[in-house]
Amino acid sequence: MCVPFRNISNREFDGDEEEDGGFGSAVEVSGDGSTLLIANEDAKDKAGVVYAYVRNGSTLWGRRFEQKSTLWGRRIPGAEFGEGMSISYDGGTVVVGAEDEADDAGRGYVYERHDSGAFQWSQMIAPSVVLGETNFGEAVAMSGNGARVAMGGPRHGDRKGMAYLYDNPRDGSGLSLATKLSPPAGSAGGRFGKFIALSGDGKVMAVSEFQGNGVVHTYDIFG
């Protein structure tokens, strides 16, 4: 049984953020159901914005999503912040991609939720190697505890694509690059990393590639 409890629309905003439409271009819900992300990658001349909502109340029928944060990236027109995004199981960590920032190289932004429920920016990540339009951050995935993040760069190297895996030791140092993965076939146009997924424990990753009829590569992650 599904019980609708609230519809959220851009009519809730004062109009400044939503002047370009596109509200709801991507959505994510944390595994525990506490936190909701709604993107509008078209806002402000496609700079993009993500709205973070946190549920309040102690009972099923009394809990409602309330907006706690507006995540903007660097507000660069055309960056399309919010195309890819992911959230940890408890809603405490959010990673948002801005695939067209920096001349389409792409960037990723990390946010941490504080006791007030509001999110604050904590880190920006960029592809270590850029060959043309990488579109780093078009796809984003995260393990349940937020300690592992995968980012896709499907246009890297004549659209062969690349996937990037980051680890966060949770000691305050933030995400660091663990490895880069190239498509096994390595032919142009495959867009390896267009879609990417991580298991809850961060030990299995799946990456799509559009070669021939399409293929999905799976990886076991150790360490």
- pLDDT tens figures, 74-130: 999 999 999 999 999 999 999 999 999 999 999 999 999 988 889 999 999 999 877
Check whether 12 has a pLDDT greater than 60. Answer: no
Its pTM stands at 0.89
Write out the two tokens for 153: 């760069």
What's residue 173's pLDDT? 85
pLDDT digits (tens, 9 = 90+) for 142-187: 999 999 999 999 999 888 999 999 999 877 789 999 999 998 876 7
DSSP state of 43: H
Q: pLDDT band for 136, please (50, 70, 90 cuts).
A: very high
**d(C-alpha 123, C-alpha 107), whole Å:** 11
Write out the two tokens for 198: 């991580």
Summary mean pLDDT of the chain:
87
What's residue 13's pLDDT? 47
List Cα–Cα distances, 116 to 13, 29, 47, 68, 103, in angstroms.
21, 19, 27, 9, 36
pLDDT digits (tens, 9 = 90+) for 179-219: 999 988 767 788 999 999 999 999 999 999 987 778 999 99
Which has the higher per-residue pLDDT, 2 or 107? 107
Identify the CATH number of the domain defined by range 16-220: 2.130.10.130
- Helix/strand number for the chain, H first, E second: 3, 15
The DSSP annotation for 9-29 comes to: -GGGS-SSTTTT--TTSEEEE
The DSSP annotation for 124-177 comes to: EE--SS--S---BTSEEEE-TTSSEEEEEETTHHHHTBEEEEEE--SSSS--EE
> Which run of H or of E encompasses 70?
strand 64-71
Share of the chain above pLDDT 90, in %: 62
* Domain spans, the chain: 16-220
Burial class (CB in 10 A: 0-12, 13-18, 19+), 100: buried
Share of the chain above pLDDT 70, in %: 86
